[in-house]
Amino acid sequence: MSGSVGALTIICGAAPLAGWLEVRFPSLTPGGFISAGLHMLCSMVAVNLAMRVLGSVSGESVAVMAALFGAALPATIYLLLSAFWLVKLLHGMTGRTVR
């Protein structure tokens, strides 16, 4: 599997999980843009570290799976959840409701 297909697979798996977390635990949403921005910054650092871990793993399938599900998937979920939070806060600024 190429790196692009692998990244797309992780993102497609992480998106519904991040959406579920947002719907299931709405109280986790930060109260302001500063805290949401800090979450976004931390999530980007987490993804960067997870990709370094994934890149340093040898060809063993067990080690690759552990890096995928132990580092890359949680970091990607956190990144997408942080993006959902920013979009939610931006939507709240408009004062319009969704019908």
Among all chains, which residue has been given the structure tokens 């299931």? Answer: 24
Least confident range of 13-22, 57-66, 75-84, 88-97? 88-97
What pLDDT score does 68 carry? 87
**Residue predicted with more confidence, 47 or 5:** 47
Instruction: Tell me the DSSP string of 3-46.
Output: HHHHHHHHHHHHHHHHHHHHHH-GGGS-SSHHHHHHHHHHHHHH
Higher per-residue pLDDT: 5 or 94: 5
Domain ranges of the chain: 3-94
Q: Each residue of 19-68: pLDDT tens digit?
A: 999 999 989 999 899 999 999 999 999 999 998 988 888 777 888 888 88
Q: With a threshold of 0.75, does the pTM exceed it?
A: yes
More confident residue, 26 or 2: 26
The residues, ordered by sequence, that sit 6+ positions from 17 with a Cβ below 8 Å of its Cβ are 73, 77
